[in-house]
């Protein structure tokens, strides 16, 4: 022990080890500060005019004010709506000047369930983390939200001109299966090739540290904004990066990073920078080339919405593979096996499974055959479906199988609350009876005859149900009669945000309520039921007659591992 209690290390090896650890810690701190500064700049730029936040902005990036500002949940909710407009009905956000702990918790719950609903991974984030303003978790969540905003147009649906990147149907299938980040890299290399750049950029870190790719990209996209000296004529990397950012400034691109961030190769900030360049000027032809393999690219609205719901549900389970498109990413069977293992632990024989990447088609079929075998064991309806149908991307059959997976998950979670169901199987009809009984017991007169009852489009029944399970959660002054289309739309939007604020993890859209999508009506009702039954004091379910009685309970410890999909505010 040295003076003042400092540890003196004389061994050269240990000195090297300590210095490396210190260096890593210092690098992590620098990275955190750079990201915080970037995200604060983004928030200041995009939310400056928000009526609720304008008095709190701009945030000073040199302080920890960002983390204090997120403690009431409002800023994060606003940021989610900025990324995907309309995700949260802002009438459901608690925005009083002084919020109590309950109201703050409601905002955090709404935030986390809404974040899952736009594709964020929140498996290791809880409401308490947000309430305490934990920097690394908050920065991680903000990073995901901003990335979703910046990458919103990096897909064929929003930017059909991306078809310019492919030459045939095989390349089109590959492009459709890529994540937005991979598509952005492919676009960047497409533009670099035009400028005669000799290397291929494979990441947003080490491959762009020297700024050469950036210099070439900006010269291709905005040659009129170039200036002397050319970045490529400068040897000092920091100076070169500075010139690149000045070129981007002249293009009108927001600055998400510093010259040092480029030289250090910070991936999140460089991804944000390239995404903003793509938003500002993608350099693709406005006249989309007419090619036969583009036919059928756009799905009908309901298929598209169901694909979205199932994709977000799968990603919320916390499996190791993140999917971007269920019709493409499930074709090798591996993700479906992961999902089955999550919702029915022990059902998958991993010794017989083929891990990606899988080049041989019959190996994919083997995985999909095991998927169907397990499905039959779980009593799924699988008439006229074979493993090869999944491999070939049959949309109708894939959606049908995914619906049965989600429904099985919901019913198992409800069944696992054995204190309420007495271990009996819970059916769709039990959920229907429970919902009607809850509304009736609360003194309301609305009722649903089935999950395809057209009267559900008004939204009144679900608002009555939400009010029945938690009287204080619905602000009835905001509820309309649900007679006109505009009134129905307002109610539907409010229902989804109120349910998420309550603690329900749901993935439907207002259109699903307006059109009374039978599958989504069941999942919404079941999610409300699951939340209610997990409360410390709740009602037990008599599956014989649908009646209920008050009791005390604690949720069982053996709930399915996929519980986070319907749990309150994010998994632990």
* pLDDT tens, position by position, 241-287: 999 999 999 999 877 789 999 999 999 999 999 999 999 999 998 76
Domain end call among 368, 388, 417: 417
Look up the CATH number of the domain holding residue 513.
Answer: 1.10.418.10
Split into its structural domains, the chain has a count of: 4
Q: Which residue has the higher pLDDT, 116 or 296?
A: 116
Q: Is residue 278 part of a domain?
A: yes
The CA-atom distances, in angstroms, between 154 and each of 148, 181, 483, 523 are 10, 8, 38, 30
Domain end call among 282, 313, 342: 282
Domain boundaries, position 463: 428-534
The CA-atom distances, in angstroms, between 20 and each of 14, 17, 26, 157 are 10, 5, 10, 46
Q: Is residue 568 part of a domain?
A: no
Which ranges of 178-266 would DSSP assign to H, the alpha helix? 180-194, 212-221, 237-251, 259-264
pLDDT over 70, % of the chain: 85
E strands, 407-564, are 537-541, 548-552
Is 143 in the same domain as 173?
Answer: no
Q: Is residue 485 part of a domain?
A: yes
> With contact defined as beta carbons under 8 Å apart, do 354 and 363 qualify?
yes
Q: Is residue 188 part of a domain?
A: yes
Could you tell me which residues are beta bridge partners of residue 541? 548
> With contact defined as beta carbons under 8 Å apart, do 489 and 563 qualify?
no
Is 379 in the same domain as 485?
Answer: no
Quote the pLDDT of residue 94. 95
**52 — phi, psi (to 5°)?**
-80, -35
Which ranges of 101-211 would DSSP assign to H, the alpha helix? 101-117, 127-131, 135-150, 169-177, 180-194
Q: What is the pLDDT of residues 397-411, one digit of tens each?
A: 999 999 999 999 999
Residue 320 is given by DSSP the state: S
Q: What is the pLDDT of residues 27-62, one digit of tens each?
A: 555 568 889 999 999 999 999 999 999 889 999 999
Quote the pLDDT of residue 299. 58
- Please, which pLDDT band fits residue 26 given cuts at 50, 70 and 90? very low
Q: Is residue 547 part of a domain?
A: no
Helix axes 135-150, 74-83, angle to 10 degrees: 20
Is 207 in the same domain as 140?
Answer: no
Domain end call among 393, 417, 441: 417
Q: What is the pLDDT of residues 105-148, one digit of tens each?
A: 999 999 999 999 999 999 889 999 999 999 999 999 999 999 99
Residue 502 pLDDT > 60: yes
Global pTM? Answer: 0.86
What CA–CA distance (Å, rounded) separates 77 from 87?
9
Quote the pLDDT of residue 156. 86
Query: What DSSP string runs through 339-387?
Result: HHHHHSTT---GGG--PSS--SHHHHHHHHHHHHHHHHHTT---TT--H
Quote the pLDDT of residue 302. 79
Is 42 in the same domain as 128?
Answer: yes
Residue 160 is given by DSSP the state: G
Q: Which residue has the higher pLDDT, 431 or 167?
A: 431
- Please, which pLDDT band fits residue 72 given cuts at 50, 70 and 90? very high
Quote the pLDDT of residue 571. 35
What CA–CA distance (Å, rounded) separates 297 from 299?
6
The CA-atom distances, in angstroms, between 96 and each of 77, 86, 93, 222, 496 are 14, 21, 9, 46, 21
The CA-atom distances, in angstroms, between 182 and each of 41, 103, 275, 566 are 25, 40, 11, 30
Residue 21 pLDDT > 90: no
Is 144 in the same domain as 164?
Answer: no
Residue 504: closest CA among 117, 119, 131, 113 = 113
Quote the pLDDT of residue 420. 55
Quote the pLDDT of residue 541. 47
Q: Is residue 174 part of a domain?
A: yes
Q: Is residue 147 part of a domain?
A: yes
What CA–CA distance (Å, rounded) separates 129 from 161?
41
| Average model confidence (pLDDT) across the chain | 87
Quote the pLDDT of residue 421. 57
Is 230 in the same domain as 176?
Answer: yes
Is 219 in the same domain as 308?
Answer: no
pLDDT, average across residues 84-92: 96
Residue 542 pLDDT > 60: no
Is 314 in the same domain as 380?
Answer: yes
Q: What is the pLDDT of residues 312-361, one digit of tens each?
A: 999 999 899 998 889 989 999 999 999 999 999 999 999 999 999 998 99
Q: What is the pLDDT of residues 410-467, one digit of tens each?
A: 999 998 876 555 667 889 999 999 999 999 999 999 999 999 999 999 999 999 999 9
Quote the pLDDT of residue 3. 36
Q: Count CB atoms within 10 A of the CB of residue 202.
A: 11
Residue 35: closest CA among 148, 115, 110, 140 = 140
* Beta-sheet pairing, 548-552 with 537-541: antiparallel
Q: Which residue has the higher pLDDT, 561 or 181?
A: 181
For the chain, the maximum distance between any two Cα atoms, rounded to a whole number of angstroms, is 81
Q: Which residue has the higher pLDDT, 12 or 271?
A: 271
Tokens for 251? 């293009």
Quote the pLDDT of residue 570. 38
Quote the pLDDT of residue 30. 55
**Burial (CB count <10 Å: 0-12, 13-18, 19+), residue 201:** buried
What CA–CA distance (Å, rounded) separates 148 from 20?
34
Quote the pLDDT of residue 288. 58
Residue 162 pLDDT > 70: yes
> With contact defined as beta carbons under 8 Å apart, do 503 and 569 qualify?
yes
Q: Is residue 236 part of a domain?
A: yes
Is 33 in the same domain as 147?
Answer: yes
Quote the pLDDT of residue 365. 97
Is 136 in the same domain as 205?
Answer: no
Is 275 in the same domain as 332?
Answer: no
- Residues in Cβ contact with 3 at an 8 Å cutoff, skipping those fewer than 6 apart: none
Least confident of 150-159, 261-270, 339-348, 534-543: 534-543
Is 269 in the same domain as 339?
Answer: no
Helix/strand number for the chain, H first, E second: 24, 2
Residue 289 pLDDT > 90: no
């Amino acid at each position: 022990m040295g003076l003042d209690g400092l540890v003196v290390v004389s061994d050269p090896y240990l000195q090297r080890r300590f210095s490396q650890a210190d260096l890593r810690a210092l690098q992590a701190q620098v990275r955190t500060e750079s990201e915080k500064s970037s995200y604060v700049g983004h928030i200041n730029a995009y939310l400056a005019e928000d009526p609720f936040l304008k008095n709190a902005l701009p945030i000073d990036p040199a302080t920890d004010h960002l983390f204090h500002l997120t403690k009431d949940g409002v800023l994060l909710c606003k940021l989610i709506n900025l990324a995907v407009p309309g995700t949260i009905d802002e009438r459901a956000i608690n925005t009083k000047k002084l919020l109590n702990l309950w109201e703050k918790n409601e905002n955090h719950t709404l935030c986390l369930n809404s974040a899952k609903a736009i594709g964020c991974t929140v498996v290791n984030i809880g409401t308490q983390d947000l309430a305490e303003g934990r920097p690394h978790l908050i920065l991680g969540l903000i990073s995901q939200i901003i990335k979703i905003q910046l990458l919103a147009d990096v897909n064929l649906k929003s930017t059909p001109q991306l078809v310019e990147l492919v030459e045939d149907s095989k390349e089109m299938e590959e492009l459709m299966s890529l994540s937005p980040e991979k598509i952005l890299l492919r676009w960047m290399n497409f533009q670099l090739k035009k400028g005669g750049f000799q290397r291929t950029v494979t990441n947003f870190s080490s491959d762009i540290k020297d700024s050469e790719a950036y210099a070439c990209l900006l010269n291709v996209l905005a040659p009129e904004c170039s200036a002397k000296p050319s970045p490529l004529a400068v040897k000092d990397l920091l100076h070169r990066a500075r010139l690149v950012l000045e070129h981007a400034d002249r293009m009108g691109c927001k600055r998400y990073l510093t010259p040092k961030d480029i030289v250090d190769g910070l991936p999140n900030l460089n991804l944000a920078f390239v995404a903003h360049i793509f938003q500002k000027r993608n350099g693709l032809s406005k006249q989309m080339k007419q090619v036969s393999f583009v036919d059928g690219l756009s799905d009908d609205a309901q298929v598209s919405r169901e694909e979205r719901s199932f994709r977000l549900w799968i990603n919320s389970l916390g499996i190791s593979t993140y999917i971007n498109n269920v019709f493409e990413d499930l074709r090798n069977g591996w993700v479906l096996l992961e999902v089955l293992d999550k919702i029915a632990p022990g059902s998958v024989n991993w010794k017989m499974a083929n891990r990606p990447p899988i080049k041989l088609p019959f190996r994919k079929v083997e995985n999909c055959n095991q998927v169907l075998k397990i499905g039959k064991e779980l009593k799924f309806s699988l008439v006229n479906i074979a493993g090869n149908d999944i491999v070939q991307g049959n949309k109708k059959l894939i959606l049908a199988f995914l619906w049965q997976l989600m429904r099985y998950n919901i019913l198992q979670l409800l069944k696992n609350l054995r204190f309420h169901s007495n271990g009996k199987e819970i059916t769709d009809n039990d959920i229907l009876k429970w919902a009607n009984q809850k509304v009736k017991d609360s003194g309301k007169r609305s009722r649903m005859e089935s999950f395809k009852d057209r009267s559900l489009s008004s939204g009144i029944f679900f608002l009555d149900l939400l009010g029945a399970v938690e009287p204080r959660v619905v602000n009835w002054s905001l509820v309309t009669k649900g007679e006109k289309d505009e009134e129905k739309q307002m109610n539907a939007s409010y229902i989804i945000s109120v349910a998420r604020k309550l603690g329900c993890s749901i993935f439907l859209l207002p259109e699903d309520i307006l059109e009374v999508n039978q599958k989504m009506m069941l999942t919404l009702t079941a999610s409300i039921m699951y939340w209610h039954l997990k409360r410390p004091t709740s009602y037990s379910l008599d599956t014989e007659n649908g009646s209920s009685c008050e009791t005390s309970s604690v949720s069982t410890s053996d709930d399915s591992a996929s519980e986070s999909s319907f749990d309150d505010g994010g998994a632990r």
